[in-house]
Amino acid sequence: MQGPAAPSSAIRGAISGSLNPFKPHASSKDNTPMKYTEEHEWLLPEDDLITVGITVHAAEQLGEVVYIELPEPGTEVSKDDEVVVIESVKAASDILAPLDGEIVEVNEALADDPGKVNDDPEGAAWFFKIKPSDLSPMDDYMDEAGYKDFIS
């Protein structure tokens, strides 16, 4: 029997083989559905920005988050660049840029209270907003059903 799909990013070291319940997330205001990466990040398109965070599955596997290092707004990133450092009681991991673009906003509240990631990873504990230079790679990411299959 095959276990859950392993992520290919630095978060891989923190994700164990146990399965967790999937928490569906609402889509954006304009009903654009949330997308998911194999690295257990969620991407929420709104207007010309993409909000990025980690999934409930990733947060549960990381355990208690104790430190987050966020990028500076205005930083230009390329897809798969290490953008966020997240440390938990279990591991240190990197959150990767899902697209080429500019980081336009970061969730400063996480620097003061990194534990919010454990409380609401697919909502208030988003990491950053990116203005992508090209939205077409979004088509390559999983929808909710695809991600649910991926982690089961």
| DSSP H helical ranges for the chain | 56-62, 109-112, 116-119, 144-151
CB 103 within 8 A of CB 73: yes
- Whole-Å CA distances, 45 to 51, 92, 139: 6, 27, 12
Distance CA 84, CA 56 (A): 17
Q: What pLDDT shows up at residue 32?
A: 67
Residue-range domains of the chain with CATH? 10-16+30-134+144-151 (2.40.50.100)
On the question of pLDDT at 21 being above 80, the answer is no
Tell me how many helices (H) and strands (E) the chain has: 4, 9
Which pLDDT band, with edges at 50, 70 and 90, does 28 fall under? very low
Q: Is residue 6's pLDDT more than 50?
A: no
pTM score, whole prediction: 0.81
Q: What was the pLDDT predicted at 31?
A: 61
User: Which residue carries 């950053």 as its tokens?
Assistant: 128
- Are 58 and 11 contacting, i.e. CB atoms less than 8 angstroms apart? yes
Mean of the per-residue pLDDT values of the chain:
84
